[in-house]
């Protein structure tokens, strides 16, 4: 082709280049996405586009199908189409399949709002193409943005221009990946074991990860990576996508028999959820794409994206105590005040009262949905506790679960039709809960009014926003049981947005029976996620390790657990619990009344250490080391200017290497020299035998630390040692 046949846009930012062409008025197609191509001018772009046109096989359509951002069946593509749906048949009174395979023609292309014709080169920018289908009944807008971070994101919007309704089945967008990306990595998991990595070959056909839980899910794909086989944290070319949506959603990888490969995603729509009347439009969620050499580089683009958002999260985050595992539903004022005194003495800066403060909520079977302070338990309201917490110099936070309701509640008895259901009878229960339909205006206003009243009366600083069950048969009873997960997700987003508008300083945590609502959609509106209900450090080492594939440390709630885990029953030294937790937004989930004086002293020392280094721990660049077996986890954070770093070496298994593996630290300035020293806060880990160099001053270059390293101490299983590296 020649450039004159259409618009071509070359975008380069953050070490990434993206070449997009709309030749012959066709939908935008990405010809290249990967490492920066220096000198990407018109001649090079023309040559790349020409070189990318494949041969036609012996039994293929001719010309070969062209994979646009919204793949079209009309081009001969036999894989998953980007848009699926159909118009109503005016005679049959049903959706009989008319218009199921539209063919789109682009009518305009703009870059940052300016028309694009011929070749345009730019740094970061937003490319938008508008197209009409062959019957001029559908308008499609496709947006692709390359951000300063090198992160790509794309989305599509379909509008019905016809008087007849159009029933949406799906709208997904996809990005191409090259054939050398022959291995896939995504995630599975469950409650208390979120974000468990899994690998598989990128074979022919579709690798689809569908989520129908009405929330992101503890078993969500999280990110879908395709990379050169054997890729690791520092090696291999990797392309990854993430669907930024908190309801039902899809990630997929597809390889055609002709060799094309793509990664895509979007919302997973239930039957009848989106029927576009004349003039109505539907927009897909953003699909984010990150290229990097190694998993750390892929993660860094997402981290920089979140750190650049308008509503910034400070690295000066307050150390938090959450009282859940300390008291559960036993809301005894004297006990809670004693806990506040102990927490403040240890250096805690925020106190969060969890479930059980409202309505008839004395256990998990009653009262959920009645968001008024219980007069039985709190005859003077929450003021005695809130006032004392504030007098001790701490912020005050409160737990809510706004989307859920117990059948045994005033709300459910008064408004049974507000429960989400596909029929008159309610869905099967989970955790003695049903789901409140926030898409019903009266239900939405009821919850908003109750939450607003409590937040305003007590000047709440922080809300822990929970969501403890999947959305099963989530229909709108007031609309004949019609599927309503899409509407529920939008209502949830709107409630977050409106509360943030009313209380701009309010911080909100996304909790969902632990880490089941972690995605970039909810993180446009919240400030922190609860990584998992399981805070046993043995498991948290890996959960934190993989949650950082999307989130930087300051967004991860990371708490010091009780000596004996309430979830697993395992017991651990405080040094392991704290040494694990400091690589996130530090908190405590422990009944401090049960702690010994020595433990309280050591806890205070860990909090002091975190406060002294939280700018680095929460604002540094993530490093995760390859080259060790599954028993040894090495990770750390580097100052952006590479002047210092803090690393951790954790041994998790009962079979120890003897002698211990050599420790290597990646990412420091190769030419600079660094003083390396172990960090021992409080007592040393039990059974630790230090290597000889601990008695000396060790100074090594960044290159020596990466390629040679230093001897590790002998350690018991479930122990961690921290190291500092400071430029000299």
Q: Is 466 a catalytic residue?
A: yes
DSSP assignments along 591-631, one per residue: -GGGS-HHHHHHHHHHHHHHHHHHHHHHHSEEEE--SS-TT
Known active-site residue 533: yes
Write the burial class of residue 724 (CB in 10 Å: 0-12 exposed, 13-18 middle, 19+ buried).
Answer: middle
Q: Is the dihedral of CA 418, 421, 426, 432 positive or negative?
A: negative
CA geometry: angle at 481 spanning 493 and 449, to 5°? 40
Considering only CA atoms, which of 404, 233, 395, 410 is closest in space to residue 317?
A: 395
- Identify the three-state secondary structure at position 334: helix
Which residues are CB-neighbours of 534 under 8 A, at least 6 positions away? 192, 193, 514, 540, 543, 565, 567, 568
Structure tokens at 486: 């899409």
Residues 6+ apart with CB under 8 A from 511: 464, 465, 466, 467, 517, 529, 530, 557
How far apart (Å, rounded) are the C-alpha atoms in residues 335 and 643? 45
- Residue that the structure tokens 């022919």 belong to: 204
Query: Which tokens belong to 690?
Result: 């230090």
Q: What share of the chain is helix, strand, coil (3-state, %, to 5)?
A: 25, 35, 45
The DSSP output letter for 194 is E
d(CA 707, CA 710): 10
Give the dihedral of Cα atoms 298, 304, 307, 309; nearest 10 deg: -100
Q: State how far the Cα of 169 lies from the Cα of 254, in Å rounded to an integer.
A: 19
- Whether 288 and 151 have beta carbons less than 8 Å apart is answered as yes
Asked if residue 107 lies in contact with residue 130, where contact means CB atoms within 8 angstroms, the answer is: yes
For residues 326 and 590, the answer to whether their CB atoms sit within 8 Å is: yes
Q: How far apart are CA 387 and CA 651, in angstroms?
A: 43
Catalytic position from the list 470, 519, 533, 539: 533
Structure tokens at 472: 């099963």
Scanning the structure block, which residue is given the tokens 């300016």?
114
> Pick the catalytic residue: 133, 219, 355, 466?
466
Catalytic residue numbers read 466, 533
């Amino acid at each position: 082709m020649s450039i004159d046949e259409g618009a071509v846009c070359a975008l380069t930012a953050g070490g990434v280049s993206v070449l997009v062409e709309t030749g012959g008025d066709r939908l935008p197609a990405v010809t290249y996405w990967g490492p920066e191509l220096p000198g990407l001018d018109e001649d090079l772009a023309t040559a790349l586009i020409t070189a990318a046109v494949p041969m036609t096989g012996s039994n293929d359509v001719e010309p070969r199908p062209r994979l646009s951002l919204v793949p079209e069946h009309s081009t001969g593509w036999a894989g998953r189409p980007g848009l699926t749906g159909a118009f109503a048949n005016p005679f049959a009174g049903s959706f009989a399949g008319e218009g199921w395979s539209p063919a789109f023609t682009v009518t305009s292309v703009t870059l940052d709002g300016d028309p694009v014709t011929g070749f345009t080169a730019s740094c970061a920018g937003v490319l938008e193409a508008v197209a009409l289908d062959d019957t001029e009944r559908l308008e499609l807008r496709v947006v692709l943005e390359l951000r300063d971070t090198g992160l790509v994101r794309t989305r599509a919007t379909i509008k019905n221009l016809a008087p007849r309704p159009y029933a949406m089945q799906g709208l997904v967008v996809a990005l191409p990946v090259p054939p050398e990306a022959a291995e896939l990595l995504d995630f599975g998991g469950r409650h208390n074991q979120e974000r468990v990595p899994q690998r598989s070959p990128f074979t022919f056909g579709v690798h689809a990860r569908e989520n129908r839980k009405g929330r992101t899910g503890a078993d969500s794909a999280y990110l879908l990576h395709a990379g050169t086989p054997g890729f690791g944290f520092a090696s291999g070319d990797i392309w990854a996508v993430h669907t930024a949506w908190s309801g039902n959603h899809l990630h997929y990888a597809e390889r055609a028999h002709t060799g094309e490969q793509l990664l895509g995603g979007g919302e997973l729509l239930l039957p009848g959820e989106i029927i576009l009347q004349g003039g109505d439009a539907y927009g897909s969620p953003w699909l984010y794409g990150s290229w990097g050499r190694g998993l750390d580089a892929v993660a860094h683009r997402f981290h920089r994206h979140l750190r650049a958002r308008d509503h910034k999260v400070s690295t000066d985050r307050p150390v938090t105590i959450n009282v859940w595992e300390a008291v559960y539903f036993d809301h005894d004022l004297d006990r809670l005040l004693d806990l506040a005194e102990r927490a403040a003495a240890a250096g805690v800066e925020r106190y969060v009262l969890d479930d059980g403060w409202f309505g008839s909520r004395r256990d998990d079977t009653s009262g959920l949905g009645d968001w008024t302070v219980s007069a039985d338990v709190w005859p003077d309201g929450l003021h005695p506790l809130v006032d004392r917490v504030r007098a001790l110099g701490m912020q005050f936070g409160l737990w809510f679960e706004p989307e859920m309701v117990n059948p045994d509640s005033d709300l459910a008895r008064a408004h049974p039709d507000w429960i989400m259901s596909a029929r008159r009878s309610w869905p099967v229960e989970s955790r003695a809960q049903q789901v409140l339909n926030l898409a019903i205006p009266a239900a939405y206003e009821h919850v908003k009014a109750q939450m607003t009243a409590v937040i305003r009366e007590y000047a709440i600083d922080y809300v822990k926003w929970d969501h403890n069950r999947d959305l099963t048969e989530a229909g709108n009873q007031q609309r004949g049981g019609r599927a309503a997960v899409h509407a529920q997700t939008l209502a949830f987003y709107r409630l977050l947005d409106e509360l943030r508008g009313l209380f701009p300083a309010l911080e909100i945590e996304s909790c969902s029976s632990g880490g089941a609502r972690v995605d970039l959609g909810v993180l446009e509106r919240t400030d922190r996620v609860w990584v998992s209900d399981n805070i046993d450090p043995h498991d948290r080492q890996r959960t934190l390790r993989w949650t950082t594939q999307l989130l930087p440390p300051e967004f991860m709630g990371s708490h010091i657990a009780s000596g004996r885990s309430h979830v697993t029953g395992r017991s651990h030294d405080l040094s392991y619990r704290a040494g694990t937790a400091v690589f996130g937004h530090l908190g405590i989930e422990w009944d401090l009344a049960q702690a010994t004086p020595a433990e309280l002293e050591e806890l205070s020392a860990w909090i002091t250490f975190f406060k002294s280094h939280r700018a680095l721990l929460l604002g540094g660049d993530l490093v995760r080391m390859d080259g060790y077996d599954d028993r040894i986890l090495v990770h750390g954070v580097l100052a952006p200017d590479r002047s210092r770093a803090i690393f951790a070496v954790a041994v998790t298994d009962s079979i120890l290497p003897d002698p211990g593996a050599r420790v290597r630290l990646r990412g420091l300035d190769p030419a600079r020299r660094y003083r390396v020293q172990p960090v021992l806060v409080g007592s040393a880990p039990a059974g630790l035998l230090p290597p000889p160099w601990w008695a000396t001053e060790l100074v090594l270059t960044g290159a020596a630390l990466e390629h040679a390293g230093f001897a590790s101490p002998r350690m018991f299983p479930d122990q961690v040692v921290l190291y500092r590296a400071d430029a000299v």
